[in-house]
Amino acid sequence: MSLTVVGSIAFDSVRTPFGERERMLGGSAVHFALAASFFCDVHVVGPVGDDFSEEHTELLHSRGIDTSDIERVQGGSTFFWQGHYEHDLNVAHTDDTQLGVFADFAPKLSDDSRSASTLFLGNIQPDLQQEVRSQCAAAGIAALDSMNLWIETARDSLVEAISKVDCVLLNDAEIRMLTEEPNLAKAAKELMGYGPGVVVAKRGEYGAALFDSEGFFALPGMPLESVKDPTGAGDSFAGGFLGYLDGTDGDASPEDLRKAMAYGTVLASFNVEEFGTERVSKLERDEIEERLGELRSMTYLRE
Amino acid sequence: MSLTVVGSIAFDSVRTPFGERERMLGGSAVHFALAASFFCDVHVVGPVGDDFSEEHTELLHSRGIDTSDIERVQGGSTFFWQGHYEHDLNVAHTDDTQLGVFADFAPKLSDDSRSASTLFLGNIQPDLQQEVRSQCAAAGIAALDSMNLWIETARDSLVEAISKVDCVLLNDAEIRMLTEEPNLAKAAKELMGYGPGVVVAKRGEYGAALFDSEGFFALPGMPLESVKDPTGAGDSFAGGFLGYLDGTDGDASPEDLRKAMAYGTVLASFNVEEFGTERVSKLERDEIEERLGELRSMTYLRE
């Protein structure tokens, strides 16, 4: 069992009321891979420039992540994002985006990456998502994320990409936007009509909701008193969610999906406690299990 | 065991994308009382004008609610609210507010209302909340709601009122505004520092979160496909929550509080399915229990 993630590898400069960092390792594929690495073998596919150094590869290797499909583009620069958050961390502002090598990204997958049992198509252009999906025929579970940019500029291709995956993970606002249906339950049903059997609505600090053939399941976010940097929370959620599913026998039963929601919630909660990858890169498996127990007791309603 | 609620009795004219109604019976005390009436005896305290007729009293009597402390002000008009909701029902607009007899409301409580075992101070001026609180010395559980208006114009009095109750139910945005703390977990702790042992953060469609001495508990909102009118959802939640607590032995154990959260969630979900009081006034107790079971299974995370 192994998992392939295709997405951005980035340097993030982030300022929040609790501090700032320059050019931290980030990007959807990185946050996802670190979270998933606690549950299964992970292959990362994505482009970097000359500015991507040994220490960054090392950080991924330290979690056992396969970096052989990280493509180094000579003379190029790694995708760069700069942003800041208000005192209310739900409000984010982008100050600078430099696509660099990400602008011409054409995913190249090794045999190992192509034969993964689980595939996550991070937030990249939907045509590329479709192309990667068709290369990974062995994947028993394929999932994708997207964003408002692609809903606005490449909606048809995105709907086509969605029709070819088993699971969609989107923010609830994106689900509403894509389906033009403000009622989330109806919007999720509409999305399932495109093809996927599972829709996960990410709801920021409110947690996440799951829609599948069995109905509905929801978990709140962990009530953390110390949140330093929300960047990458959604990708960490997806990593915990799909990493756990890949580590099971792969039939993604309703019970597996619920537990995957819980692991996603737990990984996202660790991610936001420190800047960038600082917390998750030092995380231990028993900390994950401990927090899972806390989450279970925080949501338990006796008969 | 009985419950006294002090708050507004109103006529609401509401337009949503799913229809409109003129001068429906509404107001915080009405929505609260109807929801609570499934669990305990309820006394309503609030002012109405000459336009309040027998049919409105009848509706409350049909749920066994004691209306003898509804004060009829001769020559006055009942509080009137007119508003509409956008296609996204989370976005509400007030088009008209006429305080009428509510402007000079000075709560007068009968012995029955004063001796209630549970007290809910609906969203009224905090000085009045304090006055009513001091009249109801017998109440083992006193709770209050408030709104941004009072946080802005009568903050000191509101904090004083909060210090005299056991439980606060507010929207999460109001909790952040009152404490000037954007982190909800910290804000709730700050609020508990004022006196109350229990803080409930109402989160609209995302459900509700409970902070108490045991820590944290949260439930999602029910994923309804048919939502027609969100007016009164928060008051219906509070009614289910406190009504259930009054119906228990009154020690408000952590387990009672969780179940109260569930009943609050269920009553709020019925409230929004139709306009105004249309759904809750026709609700049957077994429908409540059935939906409680659904909520439990929607949030259950196996060991």
Q: What is the pLDDT of residues A189-202, one digit of tens each?
A: 999 999 999 999 99
Q: CA B194 to CA B82: how far, in whole Å?
A: 35
Q: What is the pLDDT of residues A231-257, one digit of tens each?
A: 999 999 999 999 999 999 768 899 999
- State the pLDDT at residue B193: 97
- State the pLDDT at residue A263: 98
* E strands present in chain A: 2-6, 10-16, 19-26, 41-48, 70-72, 79-85, 92-98, 118-121, 141-144, 167-171, 198-202, 208-212, 215-219
Q: Which residues of B touch A206 (CB under 8 A)?
A: 203, 206-207
Q: How many CB atoms lie within 10 A of CB A90?
A: 11
Q: CA A60 to CA A73: how far, in whole Å?
A: 19
**Axis crossing angle, helix A155-163 with helix A126-135, rounded to the nearest 10:** 20
The alpha-carbon gap from A145 to the nearest alpha carbon of chain B, in Å, equals 21
- State the pLDDT at residue B204: 93
Chain centre to alpha carbon of residue B32: 5
**Yes or no, beta carbons of A301 and B219 under 8 Å apart:** yes
Q: Can you name the residues that pair with A83 across neighbouring β-strands?
A: A14, A94
Average pLDDT over residues A180-209: 96
Q: What is the pLDDT along chain B (303 residues), one digit of tens a residue?
A: 899 999 999 999 999 999 999 999 999 999 999 999 999 999 999 999 999 999 999 999 999 999 999 999 999 999 999 999 998 898 899 999 999 999 999 999 999 999 999 999 999 999 999 999 999 999 999 999 999 999 999 999 999 999 999 999 999 999 999 999 999 999 999 999 999 999 999 999 999 999 998 899 999 999 999 999 999 999 999 999 999 999 997 688 999 999 999 999 999 999 999 999 999 999 999 999 999 999 999 999 988
Q: CA A287 to CA B4: how far, in whole Å?
A: 46
Q: How many CB atoms lie within 10 A of CB A183?
A: 20
- Between CA A221 and CA A229, with CA A226 as vertex, the angle to 5 degrees is 80
Q: CA B147 to CA B188: how far, in whole Å?
A: 16
**Axis crossing angle, helix A54-61 with helix A28-36, rounded to the nearest 10:** 30
**Yes or no, beta carbons of A211 and B203 under 8 Å apart:** no
- State the pLDDT at residue A88: 85
- With CA atoms as reference, the chain A residue closest to B214 would be A298
- Between CA B84 and CA B94, with CA B88 as vertex, the angle to 5 degrees is 25
**Yes or no, beta carbons of B182 and A298 under 8 Å apart:** no
Chain centre to alpha carbon of residue B268: 10
Q: Which residues of A touch B203 (CB under 8 A)?
A: 206
Instruction: Out of B182, B186, B207, name the one closest to residue A87 (CB).
Output: B182
**Yes or no, beta carbons of A227 and B183 under 8 Å apart:** yes
- State the pLDDT at residue B226: 92
Q: Which two tokens stand for residue B46?
A: 């609030």
**Yes or no, beta carbons of B302 and A186 under 8 Å apart:** no
- State the pLDDT at residue A302: 86
- State the pLDDT at residue B88: 85
* Pick from A190, A203, A300: nearest CA to B295: A300
Q: Which two tokens stand for residue A188?
A: 């999720």
Q: Which residues of B touch A225 (CB under 8 A)?
A: 183, 185-186, 189
Residue of B174, B301, B302, B303 to mutate, interface with A, max A Cβ within 10 Å = B301
The alpha-carbon gap from B96 to the nearest alpha carbon of chain A, in Å, equals 26
Average pLDDT over residues A87-116: 94
Query: A90 falls in which pLDDT band (50, 70, 90)?
Result: confident
- Give this complex's ipTM: 0.93
Q: Which two tokens stand for residue B216?
A: 């944290």
- State the pLDDT at residue B187: 97
With 80 as the cut, is the pLDDT of residue A207 above it?
Answer: yes
**Yes or no, beta carbons of B301 and A302 under 8 Å apart:** no
With 80 as the cut, is the pLDDT of residue A107 above it?
Answer: yes
Instruction: Out of A182, A185, A295, name the one closest to residue B223 (CB).
Output: A185
Average pLDDT over residues A266-284: 98
- State the pLDDT at residue A303: 81
The alpha-carbon gap from A149 to the nearest alpha carbon of chain B, in Å, equals 21
The alpha-carbon gap from B278 to the nearest alpha carbon of chain A, in Å, equals 21
**Yes or no, beta carbons of B185 and A223 under 8 Å apart:** yes
Instruction: Out of B186, B227, B298, name the one closest to residue A217 (CB).
Output: B298
Instruction: Out of B183, B206, B302, name the one closest to residue A225 (CB).
Output: B183
Average pLDDT over residues A8-29: 97
Taking the model in full, what pTM does it have?
0.96
What are the angstrom distances between the C-alpha of A136 and each of A70, A139, B8? 17, 6, 61
- Print burial letters for A280-290: b (CB count within 10 Å at least 16), e (below 16): bbebeeeebee
Q: Which residues of B touch A228 (CB under 8 A)?
A: none
Contact predicate B264/B220, CB 8 Å: no
Instruction: Out of A87, A185, A262, name the one closest to residue B301 (CB).
Output: A262
What are the angstrom distances between the C-alpha of B273 and each of A214, A249, B211, B231, B238? 22, 40, 28, 10, 17
Instruction: Out of A87, A203, A223, name the one closest to residue B184 (CB).
Output: A223
**Yes or no, beta carbons of A87 and B302 under 8 Å apart:** no
Query: A1 falls in which pLDDT band (50, 70, 90)?
Result: confident
Instruction: Out of B215, B219, B255, name the one closest to residue A302 (CB).
Output: B255
**Yes or no, beta carbons of B301 and A298 under 8 Å apart:** no
- State the pLDDT at residue B295: 97
